[in-house]
Each structure stands twice: as C-alpha cells, then as structure tokens.
Structure 1
Amino acid sequence: MWRKALGVAVLALSMGYFYHSDSELPERALHYLTVTLRNLQGASNTAAVEQTISAAWEALITAPSRQWSRVAVGVNACVDVVVSGVGLLQALAVDPGVGRDHEVLHSKEDLKEAFIHYMAKGAAAERFFSDKEIFQWIARAAAEYPGAQLYVGGNAALIGQKLATYPQLTVLLCGPVGPKLHEMLDEQIVVPPESLQETDEFHLILEYKAGECWGATQAPHASRFIFSHDLTNGEMSMLETFVASLEEFQPDLVVLSGLHMMEGQGRALWEERLKEAVISISDIPNEVPIHLELASMTDEDYMDLIMREVLPIVNSIGLNEQELLFLSQAGGGPHSHMTSWDGVPDVGQVSDILFWILQQHGRTDPESEADLTRIHFHTLAYHILVTVDGFWANQVSAVAAGARVAGSQACGTPSIDVGMVALKAPLKFHTSHSEPRETLTLDPSEPVTVWHRENVSFHLTPVLVCKHALRTVGLGDAISAEGLLYSEILEQ
C-alpha cells in the first residue's frame, strides 16, 4: 500500500512541477498524468477498504462460549480428479458450441453442453453421468491429462477435512472410503471400519478461470462443473451405517450431506430412499443438532420433497444462490418466477426467500414442531446467516469467519492478503424486495450488518473475493464448516 501512496505523491509533485515550469505542457500528457493519479488513488482507496474489512473481522471473530468437541460428518466421500475443463474437453476432441442444461448426462455431447451452459454463468453445478463405460473412458483421460490433481472429495469428506484442522475437535467421517481417499484424509479423522471399501469413488471436477474463453463462451467468474458415475454415494448407501455409528461416537454436532447425489438415480429410487433417509435421520437424538449441506439439483419434485420432509427435521442448512433460488422455484416461494440471478444476487430478494423457508419449514412459530432455526447462505460477493431468535449465539463471528475463509482459501493463502482480493458486495442494499423494506449501508469498519424481521435475525457480511482463484472446489463446504465452528446452539 505504501508503494501506491508513494506513487500518488510522486505523480502529484510531477504534475505540479510541469504545470508551473512549462505552461505549454501538451494537454494530452497532462490528461494522462491526471487519469493515472486518479487510478492510483482509487486503487489505494480500494485496498484501504479491504484492509479495513479484514482487520475488523479479526477483531470481531471470537470463539463461542461453548464449543463443539465431537463432530460426526457423513455421508458422501470420494476422490476428486481436478482438471482444466476446457483443456479436457479439447483433449476429448469436443468442439465448442451452444450451452444447454441436462439433468442427467448420457454422452460427452451432453457433458459439453452442460459445461458451456454453466461456464457462461460462472456458476457451479453437479451432474450424474449415466453411462458407466463412457464415464470411465473420460475419467482415464482426465487422470492422464497434464496437470491433473487428486484431492479429497465429497461434501462430507471436505467438511470433515476442514473441521480436522482444529486440534480441539474429534471428527468422525462416515462414507465410502477407498484406499486412496483413506490415505489422503487427515490423521485426526476417525473412519468406522464399516465405511472402508476396496475401491475409491472418483468425481471429475472441470475447473475454469474468470475470463477464460472457449469458442463464444467467456466465464464471468472462476468456478467448476462436477460429474460422476457414483452409485455408492448416489444411493447414500452409508447413511444407516453413519447413524448406527453415532451411538458409540456420541457427537455434539452432526453434519449431513449427499442428498443431491440421489437425484441422478431416478425417481423410483429417490422416492423410496428418501423415506428411509428421513427415518434414519429421525433416529438421531433430539439433543444433537443436525446441519444439512445442500448442493446443486435440477428436479423440482425431488427438491420439494427434501424441503417438506427433510428440512423440518434438521436444525441448520447451508446453501448457495443456485440452491436457494431452486428451493423457491420448487416450493412456489418468493421470486420463483426468476430463472436465474442477474449478476450479484439481490440482497432483498435473497432475504425474502430465506425468511420464507424459515416460515414454511422452520420454527418461527413457537407451536411448530419443526427443528430448522438456522440458514447459512453464501454467494460470491456476500454471506447471510439467518437464525430464529433464541436458538443460536455468536452469529457475528460465525458469518465473518465463513467469509474470511472464502477469501483466503480461494487464494490459497493462510490468511486474507488484501492485495489479492476485491470487494464486490453492494455498498447499499434493501432488506426486502417488497415492504417492509429498509435501506442499509455497508460499513467497512463494522462489516457485519444486522437486521430483523419478526423473530428472525439476519447477519450479512461482504466477501473479499479472490481476484485469481486457485481452486474453487470445496469452498462452500469450507464456508459452512467454518461458520459452524463459530456457532453456538443455545439450550432450550
């Protein structure tokens, strides 16, 4: 920052010198110096805003008075093969073309169209690939592609890995754990013997960078497209094993994910399997809070069923802007006429949908038997933590910690580097898209903005977005894990 300040001072002195010593200084040169000075001042001011937010987070983020000590996580786990999406598709001799979404992928042509569709939006998505032989052929090509990398994958395993970085926590991970995945897991993670299997499940992660082009398509943001032919995770085969292991492990928090994987298996399977899942989840003792991590889905009937049957029996959910809008579309909620977000999701519209979810499927009414009292919403530019009053504490720290890890993990730095991030959140926003609405202003020195709607509290904080993201896979899982670490559930 001091270099920018020095540059501003030198340019200002230069302009003064030239202006007074040579009244014939060409107007073009003077204009150039003026514009350069303004740009440097703007860059300096921007960096100062990000520095202010980052420093304010550090002061705000404090551990809850009662912390989790044993967390059980399940049930989707795999090995992620991460490659350049455009590079792999070119290696598969696929030509660029027009994007089109597919609920299930049946061919490499379907893969290409779905990849282009989401790359054009800069949005993450996940799909099931129905043909085992074609998938295995693509997987071999991906593993052999120059620069391909293998990582721990699956929401449950990624959340478990993040939680295991905190030495005070004991983490149980239950899911299909093959030899390669077991080797990559943190030593602190406990894996029940019943979870171990002879082979790994592989997921292919096609990444793209902000501004990357393929044919006529240009990505507005860095993101990824995920696909797999994964029947073990697809059928949530480990759910009963997971629930059975809880009696011995005695967790004080359960984190559940993987419901989205069943969607690609077809209606007959997910209708029956979801009923069994609800019975299993209901067997978890009431005093143990459950967080459900949602992920990309396309079948409105399936999402509606999850919303009606699963959301009321969990205490907390985590989701992004794609999943939030799809929940509203599936349930006929606010702004469900929208097909997609136009740029940064409107805070007022997001707030309307979050409030509606808690009203319809949560415990806003004291007479309600629903358990849902917390939603952690994250999008690229900002996060909102929404809680029903009287059930959760330390929300300011929780939402700020989630945003902080988003900026550092995307850049691959241990903490926020203000030179590598940019503020993209709206500086002014409305608390609702309709009445009652309030206009609020983001204050960088107090970067968590709070408002209330009946007995529901909203905590919003901006994200310092990494300018050149190194890896976006698992970012939502890290955000939810970090937010949970700083959250405290109150005794009822």
Structure 2
Amino acid sequence: MWRKASAAALLALAVGYFYHGSPDLPEQILQYIGLPNFQSPMQSQNDQNSLEQVISTAWETLITLPSRQWSKVAVGVNACVDVVVSGVGLLQALAVDPGTGLDHEVLHSKEDLREAFIHYMERGAAAERFFSDKEVFQMIARAAAEYPNAELYVGGNAALIGQKLATYPDLMVLLCGPVGPKLHEMLNEEIVVPPTSLQETDEFHLILEYKAGEKWGSTQAPQANRFIFSHDVSNGGMSSLETFVASLEEFDPELVVLSGLHMMEGQGRQLWEERLKEAVSAILDIPQDIPIHLELASMTDKDYMNSIMQEQVIPIVSSIGLNEQELLFLSQAAEGPHAEMDAWKGIPDVGRVSDILLWILEEHGRSDPLSEADLTRIHFHTLAYHIMATVDGFWGNQAAAVTAGARVASSQACGLQSVDVSKVELKAPLEFYSSHTEPREKLTLNPAEPVAVWRRGNVTFHMTPVLVCKQPLRTVGLGDAISAEGLVYSELKQQQPL
C-alpha cells in the first residue's frame, strides 16, 4: 500500500514539475495525478518528454505474457529478400526526373514507378505494387543492389513475422514460402523451413524509403515511409500455399499466421479469381480448432478486396492485422462506414476507425452469435496509435497485446531494442470519441494508464498510443513486428462446446 501511494506521489511530483502551467493536459488527467489546470503560454520540450516517460513506464507494467502461451506457430506464405535503398536517390540514379504523382495499380515502366512513388511520397503513405516488365525490373534491381548504402534484409510478411516470433525462446516457428539460398542464410536458425519450400533462386523486392521532410522536386514527404515493388511470380501466385497447408499436419501448430494474399492482385483478374478459390479451399483444409491470423497489406483492386472480404477469406480466419490504408480501402470496397472518404487527413480519427472495425466484426465476423464466421479479432495499427477490437468471450490479455505492439513500433522504428523516450514523441489524441456518429462516448487517454477501453455491443476496443520515433531508421516490417508481438501476448480463450 505504501509503495502504491509513494509511486502515485512521485508520479504527481514528476509530472507536476514538468507540467506546471501546461494548458495541454485534459482536465481528467490533471485531476487523476492531482494537479490544478494552471494556464501558461509555453510548454517546454521537457514537458513533452515527461509524458512519453510516463507512458513508456506504464507499458512495462501492462505488458505481461498470457497464462496460456503459444508453443508452435506456423507462418506462410510470402518470403523474399528486401533490397532497401533511398527512393529519391535510386530514381535519380535511374535518370528519372521529378514531376507530378499518379497512382498505378500495376507498374509497367520507370515512368509508372516515378509517378506512383511521388503519389505516395507526398502523402507520407506506404504502398506496394507489382512491376509487370521482368527485364526492366531486373535492370532496376541491379541498380538498386549496386546503389551506395543499399542494404539486404529478410523480406515478405510471413518471413518477417516468423523472424519476430523466433526471438521468443520457447516458441517453435515453421516458415513456409519461396526460400532461396540468400534468404535461407539470413533467417533465424531456429526457424524450421520445410525442404519443399527451398528454391534455387531468391525473390527480390525493392524498398524505396524516404525520410520525413525529404524533398524531390516540388514534392515533400510529411513523414517517413516506403514504397515497395517487385516482379515476384512465386509469391504473386501464392505458390507455396498448398505446401504450407500440407506441412501443418506433421508440425501440429497451435496458431497459423497467413499472409501474401495482396501479392496475387497484380496477376490480373482471371488469374486471381481462380487462385483465390484454390486458396480458400486450401485454408479450409486447416483443422478448424487451429486459429488463423491473416495479415493484410496494400491493395488497389476493389473487386479483389471485396472478394477477400465478403465471400472468401476474412470470414474463415480468426484474426486480421491491418493499417489505416487497408482499413479504409476495405470499407470502400464493400461500401462500409465512411467509404465516401478518399483518404485519411492527418492522424486517422479514432471514432471513424472504431466504426469501421465494428462494422467488419458485425457484418463479416462473429459479433452476431448466430453467424458462422470465425473472425473475432482485429489488430489495427497506424502511426500514432493502435486499436485491438475483439468479440467478447474469445480473446484475453488484449491490453497487454495492444501495448506490446505499440512498444515494438516505438523501439524498432528507432533501431533500438527498447524505447528511448528522448527519441520519440506522442502524437496520439488524448481525448477522442468512441464513434464518429451518435450515440458516442467521449474518452480520455490517461498517460499513467495508457490503454483506453470501450465497448460497442459485444465488441471490446483497447486503444493505446504509439511513441512515434522522431528519426526512424527503417519503416519496413513494422506492421509485421506489431502483429507478431500482438499475437505473442494474445490468449485464445477455450470455447465451451454448444
């Protein structure tokens, strides 16, 4: 009891020292830590640092492993080698001049690449595209590999998730995908790769990164991000999916993580329609008692996304992970809430995000007890905050799971093993609404207890801020690390037979 009182007193003194005169803290938070709401015209940098410190310290208390942990996880099916370079630098080396941006669903030339890169750079948004011309792609890939300071990394959502999961010593990980010699050499030695997944050559993906404030011509990036493209036939056709499913019987996992569906989009409608049906058939062969997490990624074809959502994949998986672009596009494709929006403006509104998450679980998940859908969990992540939305009765430890995801985003973006509060900043709103429309609840995020919780129907939402890295070193794979970490700390509740 004395320790608790002392901790509260120390917190009040620390925050009081830094926040004396701050008009920016909501009244509820000031009352919680026992400070008056003094008015002052200035707020020092130390003020902001203290908030980050309070949140980071609170995370460490909140993040605890569940009582029932996964011991074996199978991950598939996209894997490759990422070649990471400066986007502006590479395009300049290719003798491409800056100009106006224009999105392309599929890239056919260097000009398409330039236009699509500028389109997303000026928005500070991530995107991934298929490059149709094999010879031109190989020429660009050679230039990228020879570019000064080019770096090679493990790539592909499945391989990146597998790499993150393999850092937990008591967790056995199976990775299935097109694994070439270079990728095999780079993988964590604890990862099990079936012999049928090994191939003679690697698949390469080019990652064009840009920094916050970086300029090219008249374009300036509002935040750091990356543009990804490839000519990847193996991953594009999810050629390893059947091999993956066949390997599950011997491996006997407790959780399956599936990714790579977005790679099929660039293959053309006729091919993806047929292949998607085969993919669904393969997924249905996975024993029903094994939960499946689906990791989504950037897509542009509304018909393809609609097929994944309405009648094909999403209803037969237990969990999905996605970012703000994928969430809005998913709603646009199926004419869900806020589908009239072209894009998010600034930090995505929590109320609008909450509306779309609820709609997915009600219309395409198991929020309705009579529904035959399996989807009960959505892990949403954006730069400033994360939300975990779960149907009541299916998942536990979600406050720890969502904060673990936020913590890894804060540390990994800065290239660190733990959060350094001097290198991060709070961008999440401290006050927001549970919905964009009535009835809605006004919520306050308390930095000392940095998980806001609300319910809508039988869906519970857990939201936590991200301490955003001021100068990120690498943005690729953050979403995969976030989802992997969230899964490690999640607990699937045992269901009573009907």
Report if TM-score (shorter chain) is over 0.5.
Answer: yes
Distance across 2 between alignment mates of 1:69 and 1:216 = 51
Distance across 1 between alignment mates of 2:184 and 2:445 = 44
1:365 to partner: Cα distance: 1.1
Q: How does 1:368-383 map to 2 (within 5 A)?
A: 368-383=371-386
Question: What corresponds to 2:283 in structure 1?
Answer: 281
Distance across 1 between alignment mates of 2:446 and 2:298 = 32
1:121-161 per-residue CA deviation (whole Å, 9 max, x = no partner) reads 10100000000000000000000000000000000000000
1:435 to partner: Cα distance: 1.2
Distance across 2 between alignment mates of 1:420 and 1:445 = 20
Find 1:430's aligned residue among 412, 429, 433: 433
Find 1:195's aligned residue among 183, 194, 197: 197
Structure 1 residue ranges, 4+ long, deviating more than 4 angstroms after superposition? none
Distance across 1 between alignment mates of 2:272 and 2:122 = 30
Question: What corresponds to 1:463 in structure 2?
Answer: 466
Question: What corresponds to 1:385 in structure 2?
Answer: 388
Question: What corresponds to 1:313 in structure 2?
Answer: 316
Distance across 1 between alignment mates of 2:487 and 2:447 = 24
Number of residue-to-residue matches in the alignment: 458
Task: Provide structure 2 residue ranges, at least 5 long, that are not aligned to the other structure.
Answer: 1-13, 19-39
Distance across 1 between alignment mates of 2:124 and 2:109 = 22
Question: What corresponds to 2:350 in structure 1?
Answer: 347
- Matched residue of 1:242: which SS? helix
2:314 maps to a residue whose letter is: L
Distance across 2 between alignment mates of 1:146 and 1:126 = 23
- Return closer, same or farther for 1:356/1:248 CA change in 2, 3 Å cut-off: same
1:38 to partner: Cα distance: 7.3
Question: What corresponds to 1:157 in structure 2?
Answer: 159
Question: What corresponds to 2:412 in structure 1?
Answer: 409
1:30-78 per-residue CA deviation (whole Å, 9 max, x = no partner) reads xxxxxxx976x52111100000000000001111010000000000000
Bigger Cα Rg: 1
Q: How does 1:23-42 map to 2 (within 5 A)?
A: 42=44
With normalisation by structure 2, the TM-score equals 0.91
Distance across 2 between alignment mates of 1:324 and 1:253 = 23
Question: What corresponds to 2:49 in structure 1?
Answer: 47
- Matched residue of 2:265: which SS? helix
Distance across 2 between alignment mates of 1:301 and 1:96 = 32
Distance across 1 between alignment mates of 2:439 and 2:305 = 29
Question: What corresponds to 1:145 in structure 2?
Answer: 147
Distance across 1 between alignment mates of 2:398 and 2:234 = 36
Question: What corresponds to 2:6 in structure 1?
Answer: none
1:485 maps to a residue whose letter is: V
Is structure 2 residue 398 aligned with structure 1 residue 395?
yes
1:442 to partner: Cα distance: 1.2
The CA RMSD measured in Å over matched residues stands at: 1.2
Distance across 2 between alignment mates of 1:479 and 1:198 = 31
Question: What corresponds to 2:27 in structure 1?
Answer: none
1:367 to partner: Cα distance: 1.1
Find 1:330's aligned residue among 329, 333, 340: 333
- Matched residue of 1:226: which SS? strand
Distance across 1 between alignment mates of 2:233 and 2:152 = 20
- Matched residue of 1:203: which SS? strand
Distance across 2 between alignment mates of 1:42 and 1:480 = 35
Question: What corresponds to 1:452 in structure 2?
Answer: 455
Distance across 1 between alignment mates of 2:118 and 2:306 = 27
Distance across 2 between alignment mates of 1:468 and 1:216 = 22
Q: How does 1:348-363 map to 2 (within 5 A)?
A: 348-363=351-366
Distance across 2 between alignment mates of 1:410 and 1:420 = 10
Question: What corresponds to 2:237 in structure 1?
Answer: 235
1:407 to partner: Cα distance: 0.3
Distance across 2 between alignment mates of 1:465 and 1:473 = 15
Distance across 1 between alignment mates of 2:350 and 2:388 = 12
1:436 to partner: Cα distance: 1.4
Is structure 2 residue 489 aligned with structure 1 residue 486?
yes
Distance across 2 between alignment mates of 1:485 and 1:350 = 24
Distance across 2 between alignment mates of 1:209 and 1:399 = 26
2:268 maps to a residue whose letter is: G
1:274 to partner: Cα distance: 0.3
Question: What corresponds to 1:185 in structure 2?
Answer: 187
The percentage of counterpart residues that share the same residue type is: 78
Distance across 2 between alignment mates of 1:365 and 1:204 = 42
Distance across 1 between alignment mates of 2:368 and 2:236 = 35
2:352 maps to a residue whose letter is: Q
Distance across 2 between alignment mates of 1:359 and 1:42 = 45
1:215 to partner: Cα distance: 0.5
1:354 to partner: Cα distance: 0.4
Task: Provide structure 1 residue ranges, at least 5 long, that are not aligned to the other structure.
Answer: 10-36
Question: What corresponds to 1:20 in structure 2?
Answer: none
Distance across 1 between alignment mates of 2:357 and 2:370 = 20
2:105 maps to a residue whose letter is: E
Distance across 2 between alignment mates of 1:461 and 1:90 = 40
2:349 maps to a residue whose letter is: D
2:120 maps to a residue whose letter is: Y
Distance across 2 between alignment mates of 1:395 and 1:77 = 28
Distance across 2 between alignment mates of 1:436 and 1:140 = 56
Question: What corresponds to 1:297 in structure 2?
Answer: 299
With normalisation by structure 1, the TM-score equals 0.92
